[in-house]
Structure 1
Amino acid sequence: MGEVRKLQKKLRQIENLELKVSLTPEEAVKVSKKAELRSRLAELLLQLSGPQQTQYIVGEEGDKMKRQVESRTEHHTDHTPAVKLARKDHQETEDKTKSGAEQEIKERETGIQSQKLPDPDAEFSSLKALWEKAKFRLRTLKGHSDIITCVAAVDNLVISGSRDTTVKVWHVPTATEQRNLGGHSGGVTCLSTPPAEYCRKLASALHLSEKERFIISGSTDCCVRIWTLSSGQCVKSIYTFNAVTSLCVIAEWEGYIVTGSDAGKLQVWDWLSQENRQSVNVHLDAVTTLQSHGPLVFSASTDGSVCVWEVYDGAAEPLKQIQHWGSEVTGCSRIDDVTGKLRLSARGDHIFLANGRSSIRVLNWRTGTMRRLTNHSSTAGVTDCVNQIPGLLVASCFDLTSGGNTLNLFSLPECRYLVSLTSSDLSRILCFAAWLTPSGGHRWVTGGRDLTVWEQLPGNGKKRGDVNAKRDSRLDGLLAESDGDSQEESDEDDDDDHDDDEDSTITDAEEVSGSSWLRCVLQ
C-alpha cells in the first residue's frame, strides 16, 4: 500500500510497544524512531493535501469562497433584463390582490407553528458557543507506577485502578491520595461504584454504617474484591477462576455483579452472598466492556461482537440474551492492538463503539443498523474511549502523526460536533469518567500514562484555563450510513495483511481524498 498507511501502521505498533511493561533491545530501537516517522508522515500528508484543497475547502477558506460566490450572484442580478423585472412587478401586483382574510389566517398559522416548534439550530448554536468558551483547570494526580486502566468517581473522590496492581482513592479538592488499596496480585482492569441503596444493603449485612460506600475491582489475578470507601478494607473477595477483564453492577431487584473474562465468559454473582448464579460462554475473546442500564446489560468483546442481555430476577439464570451482533455487523472485526479493547457506551436503542479507529460506530442494537460518526479529520486518529454525559457524547482522540490528544464533544441525541478540548500537557487518554458538581459544573477524570482531573471553571471568572477549546470544521458532518468497515479502514486492514505489497494500485492521493471526513463534508 501507500507510504502514508505504512507509516501510520508503524506508529500504531510503536504506540503499542510504549504501553508494554518492558522492551527488548529490538523494540527499543523501533521506539527510538518514532519522532523520525512522525516527521516523515506529517511531511507526506502536507504534500498530499495540496491537490485536494481546491476541491474540498472547509473552514475560513470555504466561507471566503462562499462570500465571493454570493457577491457575484448579487452582481449578476443587478443586470436582470427589463422584461423579467416587468414580469416580476406584475406578479407582485397579483399577489397583493389576494384576500386579506387569507393572508391573516396564513400569518396566524405561521405564528402558531413558530411558537410550538423551537429552532434546533438555534439551540445547537447556543450550546456550541457555550462550549467554545469553556475553561477547565487540569490537575495531575501522581502515585501510580504503571498505566491507569480504569477510573470511577464518588462525590469528591476519584478511584483509579492501575496495571501496578493497586486501587487508589483520591480527594479531588486537595488533589491528594487518600487511600491505597493493595491486595490484588495482578493488574487491575476494571472498577465499579454501586449505587448508595445497594451499598446500604451490604453494609447492613456486614454490620457497617448505613452511609458506607463500596468499590468493586477486578483483576487479572482472577479475583473480584469489594472495598469500603471509608477505611479501604477489603470486605469480600470472589475468585472467578478466570482473569477478570470487565465488570458491572446490576442495580435492579436484589442486585448482581456481572464479570467478563479474558476468554469470553460472563458470570453473574449475587450482590449480598457473592454466590455464582450463572456462567455463560458467549464471546470468542476477552470481554472488554460491561455496562448496565436498568434491566439491560451490554457486553462487548475484542472479537468485535456486542451482546444485549435482559435481567430476570429470581430466575435460575438471571441473564437472558436478547440480541447478539457479530463483527460482520459492528464492523469491529479488527480491534486496534494499541489498547486491545472495544469500548462501548449505551443509552436507549443506541450503542457507541470505540475500537481504535478514527470514527465512532453507532449501533442500533434493536435493528442492527450501523452508522459512523467521524471523530478525527484523517485516518491517523485513534479513538480509545467514549462516554456519555447528559446531553453530551465525549470521545477521546489520539493523533498518531503529532502525538496530540483531544476530547471531542458531540451534542446528543443529534450527534452534532460541538468542540474539541486539548492541552499540550495531555497524555494519551485510555479511560474516562465524568460527574457534575453541586453547582452544576463539569468535573472529569482521564487515565492513561497520567491520571488527570478536569475541573470546569466559572465562565465569568478571570482565571485562565489549562485547556484550549477549538473547532475542526472537518468534523461537522452528520452520521454516515455504514454497512461495514469504511473505505479507509478496509484499506488499512489490507495493509496490515500485505505490508510488503509494493504493487498496490491505490495511491496516497486517493487515500487522502477518500477519507471519511471528506465524505462527510460532501454530504
Structure 2
Amino acid sequence: MGEVRKLQKKLRQIENLEIKISLTPEEKIKVSKKAELRSRLAELLLQLSGPQQTQGIVGKEEDKMKRQVEEVTEQHVGHRPALKIAREERRENEASDGNQTDGRGETNLPVSLTEEEQEDAEFRSRKQTWEKAKFRLRALEGHSDIITCAVAVDNLVISGSRDTTVKVWHVPTATEQRNLGGHSGGVTCLCAPPPESCRRLARAFDLADKERFVLSGSTDCCVKIWALSSGQCVKSIYTFNAVTSLCFIPEGEGFIVTGSDAGKLQVWSWSSLENWLSVNAHLDAVTTLQSHGPLVFSGSAEGSVCVWEVCDEGPEPLRRLHLWGPEVTGCGGEDGLNGRLVLSPRGDRVFLSCGKASIRILNWRTGVMTRLANHSSTAGVTDCVNQIPGLLIASCFDLANGESTINLFSLPQCKYLVSLTSSDLPRILCFAAWLTASGDHRWVTGGRDLIVWEQLPGTFKKRGDVTVRRDRRLEDCILESDRDSEDDRSEDDADDEDATTQDAPETEEPASSSWLRCVLQ
C-alpha cells in the first residue's frame, strides 16, 4: 500500500498544479508524468482490489468491471442485515394485503409503522426516484480562467473566476447577461443576501424594492456589492486583507462576514458598512463561511472549524462558542489535502470536505467526528459538499482515472442514493443548487468549466446526458467513527516517506495549501 499512497499524493499535487496560471519548468515536468503515474496506480489498484473492485482497471477489463458497478439491482441483499430483509418482506406482505397507492405508484404506508420503518420506506422511495432521474448539461462559456464560486438568484447564476470578473448568466437561455468587471484580483467568493435584506439596502440607494444584490470577495482585498438589474457596483469595502470567503447574516439589520487569507474574521454592518468586529479566528486562510440561523460557521485551510453565535445586543455581533482544531476534525496535515476546507451545517452536524475520500461529519456541540464514505478507495478527492432539502450533495474526483462524479445521500440518514457523472466532466471545485418553480432540480458546477445541470422529465435520453448509477461499494458503507485508524496512520507514514523522495523539488509547497495558493495567484 505504500507505493499506492505515494502515487495518490503525487497525483493530488499534479491536479492542483494544473489549475495554476503558469508553471515553472520543474512543475511542467511533474505534470507531464500524470499519465504514467495514473497508469501505474491503475495497475497497483487492480492487483490489490480483486474482481469486485474497479479502481485502476484498464482496457476491456475496466469496461467489464464498471458495468458491474453501474448495474442498479435490488438482488444484492446478501450484504443487508437479516432484520432489515425481514422488515422489507413484512412491508411487501402488508402492501399486498390491500394498501392503497398514490398516482405515482408509491405505497401509502400504514400508520402502524415505526418511525424507523417510515424513514426506511421514504429512503427506498427516494432512491427509486433518483435512479430514474435525468439531467442534461449545458456549458456557460465566457470565463477565461478557473471558476472559483457560484450562486443562484431566481433564474440567474452568478459566477466568480480567477480571471477577476463576476458574470451574470440567464439560465433558461444559457446566455451571459452581464459582465461585472471591477476587481483587480481573482474573485474567490460570492454571496446573495435574502430579498428582505436587499429591500432595505435598495431603499438606501433609491432603487426599486425588487432589486437583488450579490456580494463578491477578491484577492484585491475588496468586497463589492453589485446591483443585478443594472450590473453597477453600488458599494465597495476595502478590508486590508485578501478576501477568501464571505457570508451574510440576515439577523437584525444584517451583517457581512469576511474571512481573509491570514485567518482574520471581520464583520461589517449591512446598512452603514462600518467594521464592527475584527478577530484573528484561525491560523491559516478562512476558506469557508456559512450562516445558519443564529450561528455562523468558519473553516480554515489548516483544518479547524469555529462556531460563532450571532449577538443582537452587545458591543460585538459575534461570540465564539466552539473551536475544533485539525486534531479533532481530521482535516489537517499534509496527506494530500487541497488546502480548501468546505463546510455545510445542518442542526448539530457540520459536513466537511477537505480533499479526502470521505466526508467528515462534526457534531459541533460535542466534537464527536464520524466519516461518510464518498469514494470506494483512497484515490478519491472530495472538493465540495452542499445541501438542499432532503439531500446531501458531494463532488468526487478520482485520481486514478480522472473521472468526476456527484454523489447524492439521503438526509437525515446520510444514506447513499446514486452517483451522477458524464463523459469528460471536469473536476468540480464549486457547486450551487436550487429548485425550479415546477420542483425540478437545477444545479451549477464550476472548475475549469461552468456547467448547468438541468433535470428533465421523461425517459428519452440523448448522447452526453448524465449517467445515473449506483456504486455497491458506497451502498454498503455506513457512518463510522473518525478515530485514528490504521489506514490513516499508514497514509501519514507513506506521506512522510514520500516527502524525502528525490523527485520532489526542494522548494515544493505543502500540499495542504496548494489549492488555495493556486487560486490566489
Q: TM-score, normalising length from structure 2?
A: 0.83
**d(CA) in 1 for partners of 2:121, 2:257:** 43
Partner residue in 1 for 2:17? 17
Distance verdict in 2 for CA 1:200–1:304, change over 3 Å: same
CA offsets, 1:404-446, max 9 Å, x none? 0000000000000000000013100000000000000000000
Distance verdict in 2 for CA 1:335–1:134, change over 3 Å: farther
**d(CA) in 2 for partners of 1:157, 1:334:** 38
**d(CA) in 2 for partners of 1:372, 1:302:** 19
Map 1:343-492 → 2, pairs under 5 A: 343-459=342-458, 466-476=465-475, 477-484=477-484, 486-492=485-491
CA contact (8 A) 2:140 2:174 kept: yes
CA contact (8 A) 2:5 2:495 kept: no
Answer yes or no: is 1:300 the counterpart of 2:299. Answer: yes
The CA deviation at 1:501 is: 7.3
Answer yes or no: is 1:2 the counterpart of 2:18. Answer: no
The CA deviation at 1:392 is: 0.2
**d(CA) in 2 for partners of 1:31, 1:378:** 23
Aligned residues: 456
Secondary structure (helix, strand or coil) at the match of 1:278 reads strand
CA contact (8 A) 1:381 1:398 kept: yes
Amino acid at match of 2:401: S
**d(CA) in 2 for partners of 1:213, 1:409:** 31
Distance verdict in 2 for CA 1:221–1:135, change over 3 Å: same
**d(CA) in 2 for partners of 1:188, 1:118:** 47
**d(CA) in 1 for partners of 2:339, 2:499:** 24
The CA deviation at 1:342 is: 0.3
Amino acid at match of 1:44: L
Map 1:204-353 → 2, pairs under 5 A: 204-334=203-333, 339-353=338-352
**d(CA) in 1 for partners of 2:442, 2:468:** 16
Amino acid at match of 2:6: K
Amino acid at match of 1:438: A
Gaps of 5+ in 1: 71-110, 503-523
Distance verdict in 2 for CA 1:40–1:464, change over 3 Å: closer
Distance verdict in 2 for CA 1:339–1:171, change over 3 Å: farther
**d(CA) in 2 for partners of 1:487, 1:291:** 33
Gaps of 5+ in 2: 54-64, 83-109, 502-521
Partner residue in 2 for 1:95? none
Secondary structure (helix, strand or coil) at the match of 1:263 reads coil
The CA deviation at 1:316 is: 1.2
Distance verdict in 2 for CA 1:23–1:464, change over 3 Å: closer
Q: Percent identity at matched positions?
A: 73
CA offsets, 1:359-406, max 9 Å, x none? 000001011110000000000000000000100000000000000000
Partner residue in 2 for 1:198? 197
Distance verdict in 2 for CA 1:49–1:205, change over 3 Å: same
Secondary structure (helix, strand or coil) at the match of 2:405 reads strand
Map 1:32-51 → 2, pairs under 5 A: 32-50=32-50
**d(CA) in 2 for partners of 1:50, 1:62:** 23
**d(CA) in 2 for partners of 1:144, 1:169:** 11
CA contact (8 A) 1:16 1:337 kept: no
CA offsets, 1:111-141, max 9 Å, x none? 8733887533222111111101110010001
The CA deviation at 1:13 is: 1.3
**d(CA) in 2 for partners of 1:423, 1:64:** 25
**d(CA) in 2 for partners of 1:233, 1:468:** 40
Secondary structure (helix, strand or coil) at the match of 2:113 reads helix
The farther-off stretch of 489-498 and 252-261 is 489-498
Partner residue in 2 for 1:74? none
CA contact (8 A) 2:335 2:491 kept: no
Q: TM-score, normalising length from structure 1?
A: 0.83
RMSD: 2.4
Distance verdict in 2 for CA 1:212–1:337, change over 3 Å: farther
Amino acid at match of 1:147: I
